[in-house]
Amino acid sequence: MDLSLNESQVMLKSMATEFMDAELPKERVLEIDDSPTGFDPELWRRICELGWAGMVIPEEYDGTGLSFTDLGVIYEVLGYYACSSPHLDSAVLSAHAILEAGDDSQRKALLPAIATGQQIVSFAFTEPQYGWGPGAIHMPASQSNGNYVLNGTKLFIPWAHVADQILVVARTSEGPSPEQGISLFLVDKNARGVSVRLQSGWIGDKVCEVKFDGVEVPPSGVLGPIGEAWPAVERATDRATAVLCAYMAGGAQKVYEMAREYSQTRIAFGVPIGTFQWVQTDVIDALTEADSATWAAYEALWRLDNGHADAPLGISMAKAVASVGFSKACDATHNVHAGIGVDLDFGLTHYTKRARTFQQYLGDAIYHKQRMARLIRL
């Protein structure tokens, strides 16, 4: 297993770093975070112009069909700069759910616009009970006059407020196992009965409450066979999770560097605070968590790209490591910085917010450890 970057990936990383360095200084991150939508249309346009929205969409649907590791290289840089965008939810998670569940006519109708960024699709999975996995899906979709009708609430849905369409995971029937009876529906955000409300809180990417009140979905809006969508949803979420882990690894690397630099330059009692053992412990803790998250993320991406049967195990392992590690790296870096670390203008809180948000998104460490236990048949 060779996890080193190839020549083209090194160039991708260099190009992404140069772009982010110019486009997203920490002052701009704070400005975007504090804006009502948390969304910068101009930054999104520039990202799409670079072709990033189509990186893991096949060429036949106007993407570039690159590897998940290629995209992971970009995401490590995005995490390092605390970049917020609907890319993961639209161009990875929703796009691959459409690839896996949709028929060819649906793919041709939907994916080219996603690949160019002209359409943003939000992925509506989590509900008020919150959780990941098939057992967390309760919102019903009932059949009526040839259509399906959605009633219920989805919570903590990223980017629904700026999306054009919402891909909804709903339950059409109960079965012997929770995997049975799950279906996928594509809904226009402006359809009658759909309401979207931004949720408040100390969070990274903006998340929403999405309510469905008698929303009718025609047969053309159903992706895949009714009641059989879970395998497609699971494959799509696995791919998005692996990419998200690279983002979290990049964020952890940045906060480690912040801890190291501050410990070298902050003087107390006439010496740099990095000479104190308790500070050294925190800096090394941040380094350890960042490196662990990075290696686990790239191993998961390698398994995914190489079609390994145990790729889901590696992806869950990487998410368990990143969910804990990114937050721990932020905690250690806050310990090093003390009071200045909570100054919003300083920039550390950009990462702490994202660590807390992504710790839960696509499954926390507990969920993924339980999944790993099932995968190795414990």
Residues 6+ apart with CB under 8 A from 186: 98, 106, 110, 121, 165, 166, 167, 168, 217, 221, 222, 223
- Structure confidence at residue 59 (pLDDT): 97
Could you give the CA distance from residue 140 to residue 212 in angstroms, rounded to a whole number?
10
pLDDT band at 204 (very low <50, low <70, confident <90, very high): low
Q: Which sequence spans correspond to the domains of the chain?
A: 7-115, 121-228, 231-375
| pLDDT tens digits, one per residue of 99-110 | 999 999 999 999
Cα dist from 127 to 134, 155, 313, 326, whole Å: 12, 5, 25, 25
pLDDT at 98 over 90: yes
CA angle (290 as vertex; 288, 295 as ends), nearest 5: 95
pLDDT band at 202 (very low <50, low <70, confident <90, very high): low
CB 91 within 8 A of CB 236: no
pLDDT band at 131 (very low <50, low <70, confident <90, very high): confident
The residue among 68 and 145 whose pLDDT is bigger is: 68
Q: In CATH, what is the architecture of 7-115?
A: Orthogonal Bundle (1.10)
| pLDDT tens digits, one per residue of 186-198 | 999 999 999 999 9
- Neighbouring CB atoms inside 10 A of 18's CB total 11
CB 168 within 8 A of CB 125: no
pLDDT band at 200 (very low <50, low <70, confident <90, very high): confident
Cα dist from 94 to 44, 336, 346, whole Å: 17, 39, 34
- Structure confidence at residue 3 (pLDDT): 87
In this prediction the pTM is 0.96
pLDDT band at 271 (very low <50, low <70, confident <90, very high): very high
Q: What is the CA radius of gyration of the chain?
A: 21
| pLDDT tens digits, one per residue of 215-264 | 999 999 999 999 999 999 999 999 999 999 999 999 999 999 999 999 99
Residue 119: phi and psi, rounded to 5, are: -120, 135
Could you give the CA distance from residue 150 to residue 350 in angstroms, rounded to a whole number?
36
The two three-digit tokens of residue 345, written as one number: 């203008």
Mean pLDDT within 260-288: 96
Domain 121-228 = CATH 2.40.110.10: yes
- Structure confidence at residue 168 (pLDDT): 98
Mean pLDDT within 63-76: 98
Q: In CATH, what is the architecture of 231-375?
A: Up-down Bundle (1.20)
194: helix, strand or coil: strand
- Structure confidence at residue 206 (pLDDT): 87
Q: Are strands 165-171 and 121-124 parallel, antiparallel or unpaired?
A: parallel
| Average per-residue pLDDT for the chain | 96
The two three-digit tokens of residue 296, written as one number: 């686990």
- Structure confidence at residue 2 (pLDDT): 82
| pLDDT tens digits, one per residue of 312-330 | 999 999 999 999 999 999 9
The two three-digit tokens of residue 248, written as one number: 């979290």
Mean pLDDT within 121-141: 94
